[in-house]
Amino acid sequence: MFDEEGHIPYQAYEGFSRRFYESESPLSVKSDQCMCIKVIKGEVDPSLPFYTKGGSSYANGTTRFLATLSEEDRGRTCDVCSQFGYESIATVPIRLGDRVLGLIHVADPQENMVPLEVVELLEELGMQLGMAVERTQGEETLREREERYRFLYEEVPAINIIIDTDGIIKDVNKSFLMKLGYTKDEVIGKHALEFVVPRQRERGAAQLERYFKAEHASEIVIDVYAKDGSIRTVLFSSGRVILYEENQPTGILISGIDITERKRAEEEKEKIQA
């Protein structure tokens, strides 16, 4: 496959000797000149008998073919394959639209083993592989993005809570568990308002409703129960992330910071000043 540095390392091979693999795998579009390079760069000339309209190169008698070329031109064709005894060779582009992502390379020591109809069949396979590569890369990119967001969600010092449209807690991050002393099993599946002190539940419910309706919501201070029965004061942000599945809102992500110690310090200061 074609990498970002311009090399074409083999991703998989079957039947080639290790020596052949090691000699061919370091090929680079920046420094090498051969039929493989022309195919992956899309610089083939279909009017020549060893190139196809689909952008592939092939030969069914490399010894005879090379005998017709100058020494300089041999290095630009299939000289390495011939040195390893391959008489029939083909390099077929793995395509995604107009882009060439890599190559299918087939070779055989016998002559006439890759006729044009076989090459054209491989070209169709190359297009299918191109779409599969794009899909796989897209999935990998999505997975990497999800892992990055998961890391941020879990590791930030803020308390993060995911609540569904019925007010049920679907997930919490490490900071929530550390600050309040619960395990995830003790929290997930419970209604969010169960953790709010009774006198503030109505206000908390109204805030959740504003969140879900995407209405303006100011910051709100809520007292919540820790596992040991103590009360922690949390300042919840006015912002929230609405979560969707199939274009339907399924929940929200809300964040807050524990301001218990700050609140106590302010109360002590007020007592002293009084």
Residues of the chain with CATH 3.30.450.20: 156-273
Fold of the 156-273 domain: Beta-Lactamase (3.30.450)
* Tens digit of pLDDT at every position of the chain (274 positions): 656 666 666 677 678 777 876 777 666 666 666 777 788 888 888 888 888 999 998 989 888 887 776 665 555 565 678 788 889 988 899 888 888 888 888 889 999 999 999 999 999 988 888 888 778 777 777 677 777 777 778 888 899 999 999 999 999 999 999 999 999 999 999 999 999 999 999 999 999 988 888 787 788 999 999 999 999 999 998 777 888 887 888 889 999 999 999 888 888 888 787 6
DSSP state of 55: S
Q: Where are the alpha helices (DSSP H) in the chain?
A: 18-24, 35-41, 62-67, 71-74, 79-83, 116-155, 174-180, 201-212, 260-273
Amino acid 175: pLDDT: 93
Bridge-based pairing state of the strands 169-172 and 231-245? unpaired
Fold of the 18-147 domain: Beta-Lactamase (3.30.450)
Amino acid 227: pLDDT: 96
